[in-house]
A and B are shown apart, each in its own frame.
Chain A
């Protein structure tokens, strides 16, 4: 699943400084998910089964380790982030009515919309309760704030798509809220679990934000640049809305061209033309430049912290996000 290349270290290597912690976390997380409602138990089993790379807990633990000794609060932070992340994923299933998610059957296909709303709600509350029970009010506020921002980001995104808005500032604001806020929360929650130094916590928060934005732009670029998979180019355009390469291209175009391309986005047969249009106007190079800028800023934040295994892993994680093949 994880593709490693020569210059990019594998996820396995990146995980090394927190290997033990991640293992303990996985056990704890499974226990957290357990429920006495049989239906829930069945569903959470599917969720645990299809868990991906657990990128967010990695951010939590690595940021925690950079700032101090990992302890109980760090585990609570990771559980909280992962539960809320999973909750929003489950809710996204309802929303998009998608039949596939992370390569596994989505909850939707098996248990229908109705159950997915409730299970998402359940996981959300479960996360809140774990934090409350352990009196992790600060962590809870950080992560709840992120979920709120994600909701705002999703609603802004929907409005933006309906209005065909391609203003670059609006684009970035939505990416920050919709995608970057949870990674940012993972980093600042991790740091908060091990230090009281507000300056360092703030740094980690911004680090997460930068890397989150870079991650999203990387994702969008996959739609335009062939990466050896059989997926046709541009296929995700409709779902993802007006991504950065397209934002740039549209802003360079004439009124009539803008209108034409916007119509094309909703027409499967014309998606190739949109891709060509974006390529011709330099949208890809522009998006790559912006992505590198965020990567650079994220790296600079890391460089301002003392060197350690954890810092090295975070540096590698940044590289991984940018260089990954999918």
Chain B
């Protein structure tokens, strides 16, 4: 049912190549250490779903042009910068199976490299007078950081409710995906209503995407070991929130106590995972995820059928059905 990324990329195959070139150019630097780190990042880049969303959304609204490439590059650069900083924030030594930047070069370097990316992305857009793009994306980045801060605050107090959870993921994940989609659309059309529609589409996808991510944490890793990374980092996600809301008072106290004080002990983390699994929290989150995905689809279906629309649908399925 899920198509391969190669098939999904079909309508934008050439365009992705142009993007790739621009992205690589943006990463060039005369500072040797930076050049080394940039190459390291570039060789380990992810699936680059974000540029695909940007390019496809532009194509859906009109024609891909120079502004579209700038949008895709800008968003991917910012995304890269936030990942580098995220790994410092979470004290994570690994990213996608390799050592993270802070894992290899330490915090000091990682924070600086992230700052370099933020400003480099901004300068490129300013030099090309991409003001609308800057407007759309900058607000998303601010929301992203506010979302991360809100999450950190909640990780201290553990007093999170469902509405706050959705607010956090809307800000920290969905905002940048939404901005990437909107910026793609804005590069190809001047119709503000259309741009807003696409932004909303991106937001729904972003939320669905994050719920999927949070669900993974209750699955098992390659060798069948439970993950529970969020619990270790005291991140309360939808499955756990649901479980707590439907628990007896003593269960609730016991589970929160584990997350607060015993979140480093694997057996205790497993206890939380088992508790969530037993409470129907996973099914509940899955249902919520599907609702957002359906909303996204219905936005897409207001557009006439085309290979581009089909690829976007497939991309939505790919990013919400993915196993990893």
Contacts and interface: CB of A to CB of B under 8 A. Distances in A.
Partners in one complex: yes
A141 B126 contact: yes
Contacts of B122: 128, 140, 144
Interface string A37-75: 111100000000000000000000000000000000000
Given A117-B89, A159-B33, A132 B134 contact: yes
Nearest to A156: B31
Interface of A: 35, 37-40, 88, 91, 94-97, 113-115, 117-122, 124-126, 128-129, 132, 135, 137, 140-141, 144-145, 147-148, 150-152, 154-156, 158-159
28 contacts: A37-B146, A37-B150, A39-B150, A95-B112, A96-B108, A113-B91, A117-B89, A118-B89, A119-B149, A121-B85, A121-B114, A128-B122, A129-B139, A129-B142, A140-B122, A140-B126, A141-B127, A147-B115, A148-B119, A151-B115, A152-B29, A152-B30, A152-B116, A154-B108, A155-B33, A156-B31, A156-B33, A159-B33
A281 to B, nearest CB: 30
Contacts of B129: 137
B275 interface: no
B41 interface: no
Contact of B138 (A113, A120, A132, A155): A132
Contacts of B85: 117-118, 121
Contacts of B115: 88, 91, 120, 124, 147, 150-151
B107 A129 contact: no
Interface residues of B, number: 42
B188 interface: no
B109 interface: yes
A137 B89 contact: no
B150 A122 contact: no
Contact of A151 (B113, B131, B146): B113
B123 interface: yes
A122 B146 CA distance: 7
Interface of chain B, main secondary structure: helix
Interface in B261-316: none
Interface of B: 29-34, 85, 88-91, 107-109, 111-116, 118-120, 122-123, 126-127, 129, 131, 134-135, 138-139, 141-142, 145-146, 148-150, 152-153
B272 to A, nearest CB: 22
Contacts, number: 124
A88 B32 CA distance: 22
B126 A137 contact: yes
Nearest to A147: B119
Nearest to A115: B152
Nearest to B120: A148
A321 B145 CA distance: 36
Contacts of B91: 113-114
Contacts of A145: 119, 123
A117 B88 contact: yes
Which of B113, B118, B149 has its CB near the most chain A CB atoms (within 10 A)? B149
Which of A37, A155, A158 has its CB near the most chain B CB atoms (within 10 A)? A155
Which of B29, B108, B123 has its CB near the most chain A CB atoms (within 10 A)? B108
B130 to A, nearest CB: 10
Contact of A125 (B90, B135, B145, B153): B145
Contacts of A96: 108
